[in-house]
Chains A and B, each alone.
Chain A
């Protein structure tokens, strides 16, 4: 039940986009069509679901203070936390590469639809951000897995909704200076206000 609550919280209340602005770059750049938005969203869910638990294992068994004590007593004082950024980004880049190869091998159809988005995901703030939040909030492995997947779902929900709005926006008369990025920011703000209403939910 705790995990379910965490999931609901990550999707709606602590939404990656509306509460933390993570992954804004791809959120703004790839939200012109609903179909591509779904593709990118699915890829993000996929990669987040894998990298957050993997990074949790790395943090717990390699980087944390005293985590290396299983190698022998002389490692008990070791604190490798300053390597956190490099380790996390390397794991994310490697995982993205791995996922790309696995998907290409076993599901060419899915690869065809995700194809171009997968490499882009390595530099999506949402992926690294989720891993850093996971450390900051002291999640357990189960919580980290749920947090990874549901954060991805939250991102997907946001990007698909924005893409749907932007498809309709083509037919409206927007002032020249606001065209493109400007109006998209305002829409995102308004959607953010809508998402604020979820804060009232007590879980």
Chain B
């Protein structure tokens, strides 16, 4: 990411298209080649904890995308006023404020879901992806670029946890979004795998997703 900060002074921002090739890269890269979960190994905690069912996972992804985009925007706007020594606490303050907003909104409009997600909404604060993007990108880039980067990383995280949740709910509970799939296709006696509901299923599914994705991209860790 440091190379992008070096390029910054050279180019003329006003003449650049809103979705120029360089900017499209910010959104597309984290979805696949530079995925925050499978390649950078960030934000694993919540990727595993909330993925028993699709619905809480979807809510969680929306919350994380919201927090990451706005935290990136805010930090990017104030980046020139924040002294380097206290930047961590400033970042934590911004993130904690946004997470509080998310949690209060969730509590007001969907209280049962708030109960299900419980402590894990609060744990978005310590989600390494958010901190990582602020530290690596928003502190050295302009607002619009930071928003795009936030969207890219947010959705890169979202598709991985949604994929994990899809398999866990399908094989663990036999449903998708609480819709009983196996009964609908005429297999009411399909044996459910208790391991998938358990935390262990999450580790295995994520390992398989990582394997498939890395095998496809040819990425090998030293």
Whether A182 lies near B49 (C-beta < 8 A) is no
A121-153 interface (Cβ within 8 A of B): 122-125, 127-129, 132-133, 136
Closest B-chain residue to A20, C-beta based?
B49
CB of A164 to closest CB in B, whole Å: 18
Interface bin, chain A: 35 or more
CB of A18 within 8 A of chain B?
A: yes
**Interface stretch among A34-42, A70-78, A85-93, A107-115?**
A85-93
Chain B residue nearest to A185 in the complex (CB) = B207
B residues within 8 A CB of A119?
88
The answer to whether residues A122 and B88 also contact, given A128-B122, A128-B125, A177-B215 and a CB cut-off of 8 A, is yes
Given A23-B45, A85-B100: A176 and B220 within 8 A (CB)?
Answer: yes
Contact in complex: B88, A21 (CB < 8 Å): no
| B48 contacts across to A, CB distance below 8 A | 21, 24
Residues of chain B lying within 8 A (CB to CB) of residue A182: 207, 210-211, 214
**Interchain CB contact (< 8 A) of B220 among A23, A89, A177, A186:** A177
Contact, CB under 8 Å: B41 / A132: no
Find B99's partner among A19, A28, A85, A175 (CB 8 Å cutoff).
Answer: A85
Residues of A within 8 A of B46 (CB): 21, 125
Number of interface residues of B (CB under 8 A): 46
* Residues on B with beta carbons closer than 8 Å to the beta carbon of A82: 100, 104
Q: Are B207 and A178 in contact (CB under 8 A)?
A: yes
Binds A, one of B1-9, B89-97, B142-150: B89-97
Residue B203, interface by CB 8 Å: yes
Taken residue by residue from 91 to 132, chain B's Cβ proximity to chain A (1 for < 8 Å, 0 otherwise) reads as 011001101100110000000000000110011011110010
The yes or no answer to B38 lying at the interface (CB within 8 A) is yes
Residues of B within 8 A of A86 (CB): 93, 96-97, 100
Given the known inter-chain contacts A21-B199, A85-B125, A128-B123, please indicate yes or no for A181 contacting B212, CB distance below 8 A: no
Indicate with 1 or 0, residue by residue over A47-66, a CB within 8 angstroms of chain B CB atoms. Answer: 00000000000000000000
For the complex, give the distance between the alpha carbons of A11 and B37 in Å: 27
Q: How far is the CB of A98 from chain B (nearest CB, A)?
A: 13
Contact between chains at B203 and A89 (CB < 8 Å): no
A180 B222 Cβ-Cβ under 8 A: yes
Distance in Å from the Cβ of A90 to the closest Cβ of chain B?
8
- Residues of A within 8 Å of B92, CB to CB, are 89-90, 93, 122-123
CA distance A23 to B221 in the complex (A): 22
Cβ-closest chain A residue relative to B220: A176
Point out the residues of chain B lying under 8 angstroms from A129, CB to CB.
45, 119, 123, 126
- Report how far A84 CA is from B122 CA in the complex, Å: 9
In this complex, the member of A83, A119, A124, A186 whose beta carbon has the largest number of chain B beta carbons within 10 angstroms is: A186
Q: Does A193 contact B (CB under 8 A)?
A: yes
- Shortest distance from the beta carbon of A128 to any chain B beta carbon, whole Å: 5
Residues of B within 8 A of A (CB): 38, 41-46, 48-49, 88-89, 92-93, 96-97, 99-100, 103-104, 118-119, 122-123, 125-128, 131, 198-200, 202-204, 206-207, 210-215, 219-222
Cross-chain pairs A/B with CB under 8 angstroms, 30 sampled:
A18-B199, A21-B49, A21-B199, A21-B202, A24-B44, A25-B43, A25-B128, A28-B41, A82-B100, A85-B96, A85-B100, A122-B88, A125-B123, A125-B126, A125-B127, A128-B126, A129-B119, A136-B118, A175-B211, A176-B220, A177-B220, A178-B207, A178-B211, A181-B38, A181-B41, A181-B221, A185-B206, A186-B203, A186-B204, A188-B203
